[in-house]
């Protein structure tokens, strides 16, 4: 990030900051995120830093956490819970730290430009997580695995990292859905104890579906949240995600995006309004966000779409 002063921490001192405790005498990895990027993110707490070669003593985390190298080559040695691992993380490597983890010693060798990404699984960040929070904290425990290789988990982490880095242009619905999907995947694949969570087989009732679709159409221009959509259906957010996917064959975010693109196409065909006004009227965070979404879905930019309409 050009022009950015990496000599001082940029992470905010608000509740969005990570809660890990480390030896204050150890140099901190310079953050690559500014406060507006963190403030715009509506999921689990995250940190993205320039990975540096460092040796440190004990550090502790109250909540479970995930860590991965986004860019560059690194080699690490970690001693935790009496076990020591020595590894070079690959593209699908994720470190999974169990709740209330303790690391007694760490050494990292990192090439210049390496980047580290951390997600702290603190359910206070998801507020009304409801049954998902209970599932993860009461009935099942995440198994610590600092050298985990999991393509799906790494892909979810990269999606979150890209969204945070770009300032969360896809909004709260996308951010919260990503975080809940990450937690649900972890619970299903990397937890032990209690009963294994089963996949929700039900669907939205006709009334639930109508209420949700009416809300989307009525407030398409706004930054809709998963909380609001789930409330319209009278379901927890976790179950709403399952029920919606079972009912419509897509996620709530994908459905909302399809509706926004359809509405934008109508305005492009029937009006001469500026593109920036159309983007705002259909709920896109910016004109560039609308352009990217339309080109991905239709193969045409808004300008090309308008020029191709019948005269």
Copy the structure tokens of residue 45: 């707490």
Domain range holding 129? 35-192
- In 120-205, where does DSSP find H-type helix? 131-134, 151-165, 171-189
Element (H, E) at 289: helix 287-298
Query: Residue 216: inside a domain, yes or no?
Result: yes
Q: Which of 192, 219, 236 is the last residue of a domain?
A: 192
d(CA 126, CA 204): 23
Is this structure's pTM higher than 0.85? no
Q: Which residues of 37-74 are buried (b: 16+ CB within 10 A; e: fewer)?
A: bbebbbbbbbbbbbbbeeebeebebebbbbbbbbeeeb
Give the chain's length.
311
d(CA 23, CA 12): 19
Same domain, 112 and 132: yes
Query: Residue 11: inside a domain, yes or no?
Result: no
Residue 116 has pLDDT above 90, yes or no: yes
Query: Residue 275: inside a domain, yes or no?
Result: yes
Query: Residue 9: inside a domain, yes or no?
Result: no
pLDDT, tens digit, 9 for 90 and up, residues 210-229: 999 999 999 999 989 998 99
Minimal CA–CA distance to 43: which of 147, 229, 153, 177? 177
Rounded mean pLDDT of the chain?
84
pLDDT, tens digit, 9 for 90 and up, residues 5-17: 333 333 333 445 6
Domain of 301, CATH number, reads 1.10.10.60
């Amino acid at each position: 990030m050009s022009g950015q002063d990496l000599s001082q921490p940029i992470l905010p001192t608000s509740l969005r900051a990570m809660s890990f405790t480390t030896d204050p005498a150890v140099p901190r990895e310079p953050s690559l995120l500014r406060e507006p990027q963190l403030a715009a993110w509506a999921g689990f707490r995250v940190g993205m830093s320039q990975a540096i070669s460092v040796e440190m003593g004990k550090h502790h985390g109250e909540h479970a956490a995930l860590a991965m190298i986004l860019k560059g080559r690194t080699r690490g040695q970690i001693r935790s819970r009496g076990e020591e691992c020595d590894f070079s993380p690959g593209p699908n490597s994720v470190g999974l730290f169990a709740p209330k983890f303790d690391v007694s010693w760490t050494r990292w060798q990192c090439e210049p430009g390496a980047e580290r990404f951390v997600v702290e699984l603190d359910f206070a960040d998801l507020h009304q997580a409801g049954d998902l929070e209970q599932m993860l904290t009461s009935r099942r425990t995440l198994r610590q695995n600092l050298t985990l290789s999991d393509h799906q988990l790494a892909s979810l982490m990269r999606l979150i990292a890209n969204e945070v880095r770009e300032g969360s242009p896809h909004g709260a619905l996308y951010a919260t859905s990503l975080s809940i999907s990450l937690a649900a995947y972890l619970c299903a694949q990397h937890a032990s104890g209690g009963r294994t969570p089963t996949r929700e087989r039900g669907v939205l009732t006709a009334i639930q579906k109508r209420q949700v679709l009416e809300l989307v159409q009525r407030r398409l221009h706004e930054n809709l949240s998963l909380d609001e959509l789930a409330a319209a259906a009278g379901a927890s957010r976790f179950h709403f995600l399952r029920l919606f996917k079972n009912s419509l064959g897509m996620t709530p975010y994908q459905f909302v995006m399809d509706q926004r693109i359809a509405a934008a196409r109508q305005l492009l065909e029937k009006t001469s309004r500026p593109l920036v006004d159309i983007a705002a009227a259909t709920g896109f965070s910016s004109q560039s966000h609308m352009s990217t979404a339309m080109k991905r879905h239709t193969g045409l930019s808004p300008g090309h779409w308008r020029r191709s309409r019948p005269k």
